[in-house]
Amino acid sequence: MTPSTYKLKHKIQGALRLGRALQLVWQSSPTWTIARILLLIVQSTLPLLSLYLMKVIVDAVSTAIAAANKQAAFQQIALLIVLTGTVNLIIALCSSIAELVNTTQAEIITDYMYGIVHAKAIEVDLEYYENSQYHDTLQRAQQEAYFRPTHILNSLLQLSENTISLVAITGLLLFFHWQVAAILFVATVPGLFVRLKYADQMYHWKRKRTATQRKAYYLDWMLTNSWHAKEIRLFNLGSLFSRRFRQLRKQLYQESLAISKRSTVTALVTQTSATIAVYGSYAIIAYQTVKGTFTLGDLIMYYQAFQRGQSALQGVLGSVAGLYEDNLFLSNVHEFLDLKPRIIEPLHPLPVPRLQHKGIQFQGVSFQYPTSDRQGLKDISLTIQPGEVVALVGENGAGKTTLIKLLCRLYDPTQGSITFEGYDLRCLATTDLRRQISVIFQDYAKYYLTAKENIWFGNIDLPPDDGLIQNAAYKAGADDVISSLPNSYETILGNWFEDGEELSIGQWQKIALARAFLRDAQILVLDEPTSALDAKAEEEVFQKFRQLIKNQAAILISHRLSTVKMADHIYLMEHGRIVENGTHEELMQLGGSYAHLFEIQAKNYR
């Protein structure tokens, strides 16, 4: 690509980004945008009328001094003063209204952009969240998305307002003295190039240092959140993390300061040159008045016109520079919004069938994580029939949870297929498929909301006060826990908010189990479902388990082999492969790895 072609492409991309930004602004608040445009027209024209009226007043005063009928002359002056005052009152009123409109629209745009970012964060696949580059992209977008569109709108409106003023004033100054207008332009333009140059440098530096900024944020988060509070104190990690945070922030500060220093020095040189040129022009205006070329009113009008012209030109150039800078950084937002889901939805999804005969089948399934060379699953083939309880056992990293992620279509297999009653999962809408699977993962979520909501989130299609919520809590053994809380099911869980009640790990797990049981799904998946429960609570859960699943298919993942004895079929996984399978009795008779692991665990209870 030639340099000229690259520059053209760069300009086209910039224009497209600008167009997308304005589209976001218009979609968020069309009425407020129209209001701002109307105010802009008024605010850019009335000051010129005020400037002209001031000239007329000064000339009228000069004439009145020598007039015979000073009373009549003053009446004319008073009328002009009232008219000028009225214009300035209208200007002040428009300014106040504009401030209200600007503030309101900025809030609306910010909230709209929050919604856009949230929607994209929900849309992208789980794969993105397991990729560090995605988190860099997300952070850059979050830093820019909520204010850059408003900045662009402000810059465009200011550019329009200053341009209208500048056109009118330039015409006036050209009529007065074309060299003065040229000086005005030459004195102001160098500052534009300085700002554009250092906007580029700051943009590229911020992209380069995104990972460093995220590390600093991570350290700050660990130092201030409740999840790490115990260990930080027990292992005396606070000073270490704080010191590392300060080191990262110092590095960022020094690099940013170096760019700012260079920008400040260069800007000072250009500003000094501009000041000399401006005051030289003032001298020309004064000299022409002393010679009698212009009246005193002309002097004041031209003097103020020159001032306003310089201010308008600086505003135009500043708005252009601001647009360039905002457009650069807005590319971070577009980079995030342009992310595409890797899980492709079918154009014509089939309805999710009822599990009756074929069940769920994994056929030669292999999977490799996109960001890793390690293969998560290798040639997995298994079948889960309706009403059947299947257990997946094996060491950490054996591929058990990965298999569940594929079943939920959080990922697609690298090879092979997964079918649901004979239909490939890729033929089903992911939302409909996931509606038929109720999962509690080992790293289940804790929602710092009411106990009722924590369970209701398992099936938000139900009314929030449905009696099935308490029934699910009873099945999971959580009803007794919740009933003992100060406000029962209306108690806020966790200690982040006022009147919140913190639970033990085992109690939180019961709440999560209740959430899974509430979902009216065909498949129930429990990933280490009782790891935080004591032996008695664990036994109570599994005594009810057969009753709970009814005609559902159930998948248990557990390290406790005592909990999987009741499974209809057990699969032992090692390094992403199934190495043994059968009932508990069959595997014990086989005398392989499963029997060996079971004997090791059983010794602890003898």
Closest-CA residue to 442 (of 485, 483, 397, 480): 397
CA distance 345 to 349: 8
| Burial of 460 per CB tally in 10 Å (0-12, 13-18, 19+) | exposed
Which residue is listed with tokens 């557990």? 558
| Burial of 485 per CB tally in 10 Å (0-12, 13-18, 19+) | middle
Give the count of beta carbons closer than 10 Å to the beta carbon of residue 588.
15
Closest-CA residue to 366 (of 577, 560, 88): 577
Quick check: 352 and 409 in contact, CB under 8 A? no
The SS3 call for residue 142 is helix
Give the count of beta carbons closer than 10 Å to the beta carbon of residue 70.
12
Residues contacting residue 32 through CB under 8 Å, at least 6 positions apart: 101, 104, 105, 108
Task: Provide the CA 346 distance to its chain's centre, in angstroms.
Answer: 27
CA distance 503 to 512: 12
CA distance 603 to 267: 78
The one-character DSSP state at 574 is E
Give the model's pLDDT for residue 6.
42
Residues contacting residue 471 through CB under 8 Å, at least 6 positions apart: none
Which strand (E) or helix (H) includes residue 601?
helix 593-603
Give the model's pLDDT for residue 220.
82
Quick check: 113 and 51 in contact, CB under 8 A? no
Give the model's pLDDT for residue 179.
64
Closest-CA residue to 337 (of 123, 129, 151): 123
| Burial of 3 per CB tally in 10 Å (0-12, 13-18, 19+) | exposed
Render pLDDT for 262-272 as a digit per residue (tens, 0 to 9): 777 777 777 67
Which residue is listed with tokens 């996984």? 573
Q: Which two tokens stand for residue 352?
A: 């999710």
CA distance 174 to 160: 21
Number of H helices, E strands in the chain: 20, 10
Give the model's pLDDT for residue 11.
47
CA angle 534, 540, 546 (to 5 degrees): 135
Which residue is listed with tokens 């919004």? 337
Give the model's pLDDT for residue 366.
92
CA distance 381 to 355: 18
Amino acid letter for position 478:
A
Beta-bridge mates of residue 12: none
CA distance 158 to 362: 61
Render pLDDT for 411-427 as a digit per residue (tens, 0 to 9): 889 899 999 988 999 99
Regions of the chain short of the pLDDT cut 70: 1-18, 21, 66-70, 73, 143-147, 151, 159, 164-166, 168-196, 226-231, 234-235, 271, 273-274, 277-282, 285, 288-289, 293-330, 529-550, 604-606
Give the model's pLDDT for residue 7.
47
Give the model's pLDDT for residue 189.
65
Domains of the chain and CATH, by start: 3-337 (1.20.1560.10), 356-436+523-545+554-606 (3.40.50.300), 443-520 (3.40.50.300)
Q: Report the predicted TM-score, pTM, of the whole model to 2 decimal places.
A: 0.67
CA distance 170 to 180: 10
